[in-house]
Structure 1
Amino acid sequence: MISRRRFAQLSTALLPAAWAGPTWAQAPRAPLPDVAKIITGFPAGGTLDALARRVADRLRDKYAAAVLVDNKPGAGGQIGILTLRDSPADGTTLLITPSSMLSIYPYTYPKLRYTLDDVAPVSLGAMMDHGLAVGPGTPDSVRTLADFLAWIKANPNSANYGSPGAGSMPHMVGVLLGQFAKLDMRHIAYRGTVPGIQDLLGGQIPAFWGPIGDYLQHAKGGKLRVLATAGAKRSPFLPQVPTLQELGYPLKVSEWYGFFLPGKASAETVQRAADALRVALVHPDVVEHGKQYGLEVKPSTTAELAQMLKADADQWRSLIKQTGFTAES
């Protein structure tokens, strides 16, 4: 016997199209916003900026009619997060940021002007490793990390290194390496990797800790030498370079870039952004472009990104307590 519901379904299917009533599945989609923007807390030209711009290209005409990248450098990436916090929560303003600003800064800046409640995790963007590079500011004989540390010990006035910002993960890796090696290594904070690497290439500083993607082309051209990376295993982009752990230093950390919305964004708004990013981040053009910058590009769910952030925060809370470091150090 055919149920009443099944009978109604069959009857409707047999009706001429003009009698079948509206087809709700074909209802027009809500119009796209005219403009959306992706904020970064660092200058144009670096690894983060490159990924943001390629993703923006893929979101155009899908997430918004136009998607722009808005660079807000300053305070080691904090300005970008503050800009996101104060933006409308309608989905038209996203942030892409390294994890340091959210997993490390809360434990190193006693007067931080934002909290984790000010951001809503949307999706992972990419994974990366940090490396220690040296350039013309060191003798050509410095070819290994052991060479570099011996040179620093013999030349204490040259015992400094740069990083993309005070309290950033590369800065903290440098602090920990100095403690492990029992060397007083002075830190020079830059507003992102681009100006720091320019000084490294010019010989104004002897060394720089930062994303390996910013070194790749210079290392291949022989202008810089990458001596070590900080991840749990060797980077596929610099397989000849040993990790700190291989070299006897008990440290293994990697960083990620993540996409966030303002903390007050609704669950529906977050999900819409996550869905759009999931499509953009698996596009071959974005994935291959990321490889040029030493990035393993991949999306995640919002829950997965929140879990990654918590795990990183727990790890760095312990490491920072171990060092006794504060942003004023």
Structure 2
Amino acid sequence: MHSHSVNALPNRRTTLQAGAAAALAAVLAGIGETAFAQAGQIETLKIVTGFAAGGTSDTLCRRLATKLAPEFARTAVVENRTGAGGQIAIQYVKAQPADGATLLQTPTSMLTIYPHIYKKLPYDPVADLTPVSVACVFDFGFAVGPAVPLDVKTVPDFLAWAKANPAKANFGSPAAGSTPHFIGALLGKSAGVELQHAAYRGTQPAMLDLLGGNISAVSGPVGDITQHLPTGKVRILGVSGAKRSRFAPDVPTLLEQGLKDMAFSEWFAMFLPPKAPPELVARLNASIRTALAATDVADGLATFGLEVMPSSPGELAELLRKDTARWAPIVKQIGFTADT
């Protein structure tokens, strides 16, 4: 009898604890469901990019999609809405509900340079998007091909050669009004050389023309150039970062070659449609950080010359503000406008 009552105590306590735990679990489940309902119960997450499949922007989206499902949404798909140098994708995302089902991935120049070169943009870079996180950073390279003599070994060498050979003083870039276009234009201005610019639909078509000797130089993302180094026909004369690129460690920066103020990097960043709720932004930011921290993601992006670099939503907003201000006088100095 005595032993029975002693045993009864822990049983009763266990029952109470179990009851309390079940009640707590029910409350937590309720909270979880409410939060999920508020976030729009994301079945399918659409990651939208303004660039074609196979490029760096698309690659980043696909690698993120594999990690954001099932963690953030049940499934994740990539949608390529190309055209107008990335504007179509931004215009599409700004019109979507901010429920977490649509996420934009874009290079930042569409938000920091375009306002200075287009009189009429179909979006407001600040009001029409909610910053979530920077995803990665990349530098640009300035490369020459078979059209340029082998004794041209530096960017100043190239500019001197271009001055002496005005018929061949040209370069290609992935798009008019892009960062690499402006890097080439600034290089020409710095040496008083008229460098003719050829705009391509991406860096790869420009690289093919470079390899064929049809253009003298290409300004484009480092990762788009390094993949052609094994041909032996391409030489990178300089890189645009504040320090040397780990993807081309032997190549001096433009700064090291005496070209002052010539440090430029570009960011790929993630945005939700306007007025996204702060809890949703925080949840998505945490999911993106986790995805980018995965070794296979970081290593995969490195093969494209992309350095993983997540940020807080506030840091991304501040980066855009600073970059927009920095580009205003540069665009004015170059005198380029995209409105024809």
Q: Structure 2 stretches of 5 or more lacking a match?
A: 1-11
Maintained 8 Å contact 1:45/1:194: no
Matches of 1:198 and 1:188, distance apart in 2: 13
Matches of 1:221 and 1:60, distance apart in 2: 39
Q: Deviations over 1:304-327 (max 9, x none)?
A: 111111111111123223333322
Query: Which aligned segments of 4 or more residues in structure 1 are displaced greater than 6 angstroms?
Result: 11-14
Deviation at 1:105, TM superposition (A): 0.8
Give the letter for the 1:163 counterpart: S
1:282 pairs with 264, 282, 293, which one? Answer: 293
Matches of 1:12 and 1:113, distance apart in 2: 65
Maintained 8 Å contact 2:67/2:291: yes
Maintained 8 Å contact 2:50/2:82: yes
Indicate the residue corresponding to 2:172 in structure 1: 162
Cα RMSD (Å) of the superposition? 2.3
Maintained 8 Å contact 2:50/2:86: yes
Deviation at 1:72, TM superposition (A): 2.1
Deviation at 1:16, TM superposition (A): 4.4
Mapping of residues 175-214 of structure 1, within 5 Å:
175-214=185-224
2:250 paired with 1:240: yes
Mapping of residues 113-192 of structure 1, within 5 Å:
113-116=122-125, 117-192=127-202
Indicate the residue corresponding to 2:272 in structure 1: 261
More helix by percentage: 2
Q: Deviations over 1:86-143 (max 9, x none)?
A: 2332211111111111111111111222112111110010111111112233334433
2:73 paired with 1:64: yes
2:46 partner SS: strand
* Structure with the greater alpha carbon radius of gyration: 2
Maintained 8 Å contact 1:47/1:211: no
Give the letter for the 1:78 counterpart: Q
Matches of 2:158 and 2:20, distance apart in 1: 81
Matches of 2:86 and 2:288, distance apart in 1: 22
Indicate the residue corresponding to 1:299 in structure 2: 310
Indicate the residue corresponding to 2:322 in structure 1: 311
1:133 partner SS: strand
Structure 1 residues 215 and 20: alpha-carbon distance in aligned structure 2, compared to 1, 3 A threshold: closer
* 316-325 or 169-178: bigger deviation: 316-325
Give the letter for the 1:265 counterpart: A
Matches of 1:262 and 1:193, distance apart in 2: 29
Structure 1 residues 91 and 247: alpha-carbon distance in aligned structure 2, compared to 1, 3 A threshold: same
1:60 partner SS: helix
Structure 1 residues 191 and 263: alpha-carbon distance in aligned structure 2, compared to 1, 3 A threshold: farther
Indicate the residue corresponding to 1:15 in structure 2: 16
Maintained 8 Å contact 1:73/1:192: no
Structure 1 residues 286 and 321: alpha-carbon distance in aligned structure 2, compared to 1, 3 A threshold: same
Matches of 1:201 and 1:85, distance apart in 2: 39
Count of residue pairs brought into register by the alignment: 319
1:294 partner SS: coil
Q: Deviations over 1:150-208 (max 9, x none)?
A: 33223212222111211111111111111101111111222222322233233332211
- Sequence identity, in percent? 49
Q: Structure 1 stretches of 5 or more lacking a match?
A: 1-10
Indicate the residue corresponding to 2:4 in structure 1: none
2:321 paired with 1:322: no
Matches of 2:252 and 2:29, distance apart in 1: 56
Structure 1 residues 202 and 79: alpha-carbon distance in aligned structure 2, compared to 1, 3 A threshold: farther
Give the letter for the 1:264 counterpart: K
Q: TM-score, normalised by structure 2?
A: 0.86
Maintained 8 Å contact 2:184/2:219: yes
Matches of 1:200 and 1:60, distance apart in 2: 40
Indicate the residue corresponding to 2:28 in structure 1: 25
Q: TM-score, normalised by structure 1?
A: 0.89
Deviation at 1:259, TM superposition (A): 0.6
Indicate the residue corresponding to 1:73 in structure 2: 82
Maintained 8 Å contact 1:76/1:164: no
2:284 pairs with 255, 273, 278, which one? Answer: 273
